[in-house]
Structure 1
Amino acid sequence: MTYCVGLRLNKGLVFMSDTRTNAGVDNISTFRKMYTWCAPGDRLMTIMAAGNLATTQTVVSMLEEHSKAAEDRQPSIMKVPSMFEVARLIGETVREVIKTASDNGHQSESTFSATFILGGQVAGGAMRMFLIYPEGNFIEATDDNPFFQIGEHKYGKPILVRAYDPDMSFEMATKLLYVSFDSTLKSNLSVGLPLDLQFYELDSLTRGYEKRVVATDPYYSKISDGWSDALRTAFNSLPDFTRD
């Protein structure tokens, strides 16, 4: 399973993903689920992936190969003129990979399902974030829906809904995501450390702060323990139930 979150702030974008993949309780591995392409001063694009590992890695590999191609025979996310076109190109790639895999003797495309969060900015355009579905279509983050989650999202969503503020700083957004991920990790063993964190600052058109959060990270430990203590304190402060 997977848990990835992309937050759209007024200051920029914040991305966080876990790295656990599993094919059963006795076959757990660590794989990066966050990938970034950057041409400083021209564009920055980050994607996070959830779904079948072979499918997501094939999509990423195809995007990478096309981005390095010297000729223009293959469309490239490094050359298209807008984030909308980047999202469209990634959607087409996802659809192509899933269709090719399902045509090789399998009955269902769901076996090869993959979902992506895309965020970034192309010079001359706005900072944008999209959720790309296995069918290749996509939706964009808005003021009414300012963050996206993929994977095992139900445990970490309540804190995002209650505490998210578009004016929050990168540091506050990171604290919010730490709590969201800690709630998910405690509820589902298929999501696990280490976590990958990345900031993108509005109009910077370059890579921002990046960090890998490991199990021994002291700030993560403080947030995890502090959140548990705060919940117990809040629970104990609520009025007791009385039988009528």
Structure 2
Amino acid sequence: MTYCVAMRLDAGLVFLSDSRTNAGVDQVGTFRKMTVFENPGDRMMVLMTAGNLSISQSVRQIIAEQASSSGKSIWTASSMYEAARIVGEAVRTVHQRDAEELKKFGIDFNVNIIFGGQIKGERSRLFQIYAAGNFIESHNENTYFQIGEAKYGKPIIDRIVTPATPLNEAAKCALISMDSTLRSNISVGLPLDLLIYEADSLAVSRFVTIDEKNQYFQMIRTTWGQQLKSIFAGIADPVWNAAPDSAAIALSTTNANSHPMRIPPPADITVTDAHPAPLQTLTEQVGGMRQP
């Protein structure tokens, strides 16, 4: 299990991943999900994975060595699109080798990948690659990708991030998204890897590994929770059928269709008393039983 998120912005790219692979009662696994492929001045690419760890590690190893039978690799690809195709081919290679054997043991071929970066001569690009080796690319209408336990951290990104968002604000949003996920799901855990890439720099701009001692992340965890409570408390409670001249915003019940769907009891059921008498004493219930 894991949570990874990446954002493609006008100013560059933001990548954030956790490092938890399993969280049993007596065993917690930790492996890095982020891999950086960098040739400063020529290309910088980041790969993040979720799913079966043995599959993702095999894919990563093939990519690092040689990703296609044609001899092309991500180190020689002329575009990020071509590099994404090479990553997809590596996924298919592992599938052809391992999928049937895994199936015999009841294990699905499960891997999801976020792959992004920049190659000299083109803009920054971001892709999500699926278990079949196919992929989609991020555009202005969809500026980010998530893999793993994505649902907890999605709302804050949807409300905040746009292509124009500055890198530092996007990094802050990604960390809040991760904190929401950490709070709600035990299968995601520290330490985190955060990488910031400034467009056209063709090298890693900033990178940090975040553990439980990181002061900024601890501030995020504390402040975000407090601010949420404060904002929640500042929103008015519902006021039912407020007068028209009242300053309160009414949660009106005057609509003729505003009623719950009611199901009456069956015809053969008779309700005789909505308020039953108090329970009898123990002596009355057992017919006057007395101590010997």
Please say if 1:137 is aligned against 2:143. Answer: no
Instruction: Give unpaired runs (5+ residues) of structure 2.
Output: 242-292
Q: Which moved more, 1:222-231 or 1:96-105?
A: 96-105
- Which has the bigger relative contact order, CA under 8 A and spacing at least 6? 1
Secondary structure of residue in 2 paired with 1:77: coil
Alignment of 1:61-80 (within 5 A): 61-66=61-66, 74-80=71-77
Q: What's the counterpart of residue 192 of structure 1?
A: 189
Distance 1:111 1:34 in 2: 22
SS across alignment from 2:221? helix
Which amino acid counterpart does residue 86 of structure 1 have in structure 2? A
Bigger Cα Rg? 2
Match of 1:111 in 2: 108
- Provide the secondary structure at the position in 2 that maps to 1:111: coil
Amino acid at match of 1:29: G
Give 1 or 2: higher helix fraction.
1
Q: SS of the counterpart of 2:108? A: helix
State the Cα deviation string for residues 211-244 of structure 1 (Å, max 9, x = none): 0011111111111111111111111111113456
Matches of residues 148-187 of structure 1 in structure 2 within 5 Å? 148-187=145-184
CA deviations on 1:59-102 (whole Å, 9 max, x unpaired) are: 111111228xxxx9632110111100100010111122123111
Contact kept in structure 2, 1:99 and 1:109, CA below 8 Å = no
Query: Share of identical aligned residues, percent?
Result: 45
Matched with 1:44 is 44
Q: Is contact 2:102-2:109 (8 Å) kept?
A: no
Contact between 1:102 and 1:109, CA under 8 Å: does it hold in 2?
A: no
Q: Name the CA distance, whole Å, in 2 between partners of 1:58 and 1:186.
A: 31
Q: What's the CA shift string for 1:125-162, capped at 9, x where partnerless?
A: 22110000001100000000010000000000000000
2:103 is paired with a residue whose SS is coil
Superposition TM-score, scaled by structure 1 size: 0.93
- Answering whether residue 218 of structure 2 is matched by residue 221 of structure 1, we say yes
The CA distance in 2 between the partners of 1:137 and 1:108, in whole Å, is 25
The count of aligned residue pairs is: 240
1:103 CA displacement: 2.5
State the alpha-carbon separation in 2 of the partners of residues 219 and 207 from structure 1: 21
Q: What is the TM-score of this pair, normalised by structure 2? A: 0.78
* Distance in 2 of aligned mates of 1:200 and 1:111: 34
Counterpart CA distance in 2 for 1:165 and 1:35 is: 25
Alignment-derived partner of residue 34 in structure 1:
34
